[in-house]
Structure 1
């Protein structure tokens, strides 16, 4: 049976709210947590980000959890996940974090789906306040080449997005006004991607080497990446572990360790890997589906 993305959020929320032993921590020694939601979601949806925020606050007493709202309302926040320039979103978040006195000594970050790659951009571009651990839950770190099940299941929006991506993902108009185009990674048009991708090609060092990006990312204590083994939303799934399709075709994939990004170490990921800073986790479920027990066992340790 096929379930919609909206149903997926409900299932996830129900699983998260099941009783769990949890693991408490002294409230005088907690690291703040910043959350960034995925496409079709919002900061405060009680069936998704709201339940995650509540769960973390229950398991880590005294923790400050900031769930990012991109815009002035929940409706704006949801719409901006589809239509607001990602570079503007990242700048907005960087400014918000810099002005929050509760984050001045550092924070952990957890991004869900596209929020995972957006928070990596924050880590690379905005080192103050310092991000300690970055947790990407189903984040498309090498972008996507396909949008099989657009979250939110708002069919007219998803159909429109697919048409725009297929007709001209790298045109100036589409790049400027469609979030998903800004991390569309077409292995059959590598030159177009590198030249015209306004977001992903930049943060992945595809054009010029920005040593500051590399230095800032390497300052992380841990970079945790979660891949969902039955993911029907993200294509290819390997992007959740920084892998992708081999350039020039759309069938064979390569791992992060096999990629030029790693062998040339353009982002410092090879050095981080050797230093034990990269953590590759998996969940045997569809996109963003996990239990509270899995979350507590696998992710909670990186929030302390």
Structure 2
């Protein structure tokens, strides 16, 4: 075993990390193995809450000028592998296994002293499993967004869509309806809605089999896909490409970049084309800053393939 596989094992590893001044997201996967490898039992909800508050306090003292992103949610967030978290910033994991939107709303105090750049919320699936009404999920997310904006006014709050499952009792038709409510709340409250659901869903409208271990929780491949999504979103926010910018770009027939004026022209995607390749042809660069403009203009999701379609690509305007 090279990393914790149970809640008590992860809990003990994180406690040991704090004893030497390191938060969980900065630990190698097998850290303090001798302490947790044979551990049995289960920490209480209060144990986890106290641990998260301790980690947040430790990170607050050592944040310095580093950008901080926070994962806020349940076990899906809690088990996000630290080594997969996008680089270029500090990460604080505030997930607790089994938690629902009501519990999350009540424990926002645990990281109230931090100075986050971005807070990513992913919650709601446990509410559904526990038989709570759909409306309560939307209400709790609404109040969570409002509270976070009061506590952390400079932070960007990202509401991630509830992921699909492979369980017949939790159909994606129901989840998508709730996600529509979350999108509306995000728009009305100035938060950012991030659609993960579409990229994780197969043709049968279920969570893709390779992305899950049990129909709900994510596999390594699932976390790698989420990492890709987070990297895209965090990079966009670093470039100030928020909802308003994205809407402007999608409406605008022209834009200026690096002192050059570009217009959008139709292009039939060819076999083997990729966004970086098209960006290289258009801008002379294939880095995210450039190819993401094409993705935004065409409203391409983080997992969407170009396929056989016509898209808009930039072309310089001759003076």
Same fold, TM-score > 0.5, yes or no:
no
Higher relative contact order (CA 8 A, sep 6+): 1
TM-score normalised per structure 2 = 0.31
TM-score normalised per structure 1 = 0.32
Q: Which structure has the larger Rg over C-alpha atoms?
A: 2
